[in-house]
Amino acid sequence: MKKIAIPFIISMVLIIVIFLMFENVEQYFIDLLNRSDDQKLSYSIVSFLALTSDIVLPVPSSIVMYTNGFVLGGIQGASLSLLSVMIGSLFGYYLGRFTSLGFKSKNDQNADDILKKYGPVAILVSRGIPILSESICIVCGYNKMNLKSYFLLNFIGYVPVCLLYAYCGSIGYDKNSFLISFASSLLIVALFLFVGKKYLKSV
C-alpha cells in the first residue's frame, strides 16, 4: 500500500506547492490565448503548450479546452485538446517512472494488485479533476503500470471531456455555457464512478 500512498501524497503536495508558487500562470495563459485567438496556428501552439504543461503547472485546462471549441470549432478544438492532454498524461507517467528510479528496486506485488484493481477506475474518474488527475498519472508511472492499458484508459476518460468542452465552446462563448459544460463534466465523472463501482464489485 505504501508504494501507492507515498508517491500519491508526495505528488499531490508538490503539485499544490507548484500551483501556489506559479498561481499567476493561469491568468498568463488566459491572456495569451485571448491575444492569439485571431490567428489559429498561434492559438493552437499556445493551447497545446498550455495543456501539455498542465501536469506540472496550474493551467486552467477546462477553460483552455472550452476556448479551443470556441476558436477552432467542435471537432478541431476537441482533437487539439485530446492530443495535448494525452501527451501531458504520458509526460506525467514518465515523470513517475523517472522518480521511481533508485527507489523502487523490485516489483511490489501488492502495489501491482492495487493498481490492477483500482487503477482503471481511478484514471477514468479523475480525468476531469485538477491535481488529482496529475497525481494519479505520476503514481501510475511510479509503479510501472502497463503503458498500453494506461494510455487506453486515459484516452477513454479524456474523450468525452474534450468533446463536451469543445462542443459547448463552439456554440457560444459565455459564462452560462461554460458552467453547463463544467457541470456536465462532473456528471461524466459520476458516470465513470458508477460504472467503476459495478466493475469493482464484479472482480
More reliable by pLDDT, 109 or 27: 27
d(CA 93, CA 122): 14
Q: What proportion of the chain, given as a percentage, has pLDDT over 70?
A: 69
Q: Which residue reads 476531469 in cell numbers? A: 128
Confidence band of 77 (pLDDT split at 50, 70, 90):
very high
Alpha helices, DSSP H, located in the chain: 2-21, 24-36, 40-52, 61-72, 74-100, 109-126, 132-142, 147-170, 175-202
d(CA 194, CA 89): 23
First and final C-alpha spacing in the chain: 19
For residue 30, give the C-alpha cell: 488566459
Total structural domains in the chain? Answer: 1
For 8, the domain range is: 2-202
| pLDDT score, position 105 | 46
